[in-house]
Amino acid sequence: MIRSIIATELKNIGFEVFEEVLGISTDESTRRVDILALNRITKCGYILDPTICMEYYEIDQACKVNEEKQMIYQPCVTYFQRNYDFHHEIHVFGLLIGARGTIPLFVSSLFKKLKLPTSLLSDIALTAVKGSCSIFNHHLYKSTI
């Protein structure tokens, strides 16, 4: 759901957006990109991978998630440039979204850079909390059967 919220807003501000796109890495392995967003006018492209996980209150947890996603998806950039006829830079970002609704400064700063509305962060945080509650409820229900 969070992927879809972000993708919809990127479309609204002028990006061509592709969700759950198959990419091929330089080592010929396959990767599935959550969001590929291309803006042919500004000549900027982004691979965005929202990742929901438990917050550990490490200062650099969001940066670690971002670095991990860059290692995974950066080798696919050439593939996307070639196959989407986009001969400009494509930046890769891993977006940590806390399972308890935490939005790290790294993510909110990126949203400002992309000119996404700040209200989107509230929607994303609420969606994360609702999803976590649903999983918790399902776990409780299953453990009582």
pLDDT value for 144 = 61
Residue 81 DSSP SS3: helix
| Average confidence (pLDDT) over 125-137 | 82
Instruction: Write the CATH number for 61.
Output: 3.40.1350
Helical spans, DSSP H, in 14-76: 61-73
Give the C-alpha distances (Å, rounded to integers) separating 11 from 33, 138, 145. 17, 33, 44
Dihedral angle over CA of 70, 75, 76, 77, nearest 10: 80
Give pLDDT tens digits for 75-111. Answer: 999 999 999 999 999 999 999 998 888 899 999 999 9
Per the structure, the count of domains in the chain is 1
145 has pLDDT over 60: no
Give pLDDT tens digits for 12-46. Answer: 999 999 999 999 999 999 999 999 999 999 999 99
Which domain does 89 fall in, by range? 2-143
Give ∠ CA 69-71-77 in degrees, rounded to 5. 90
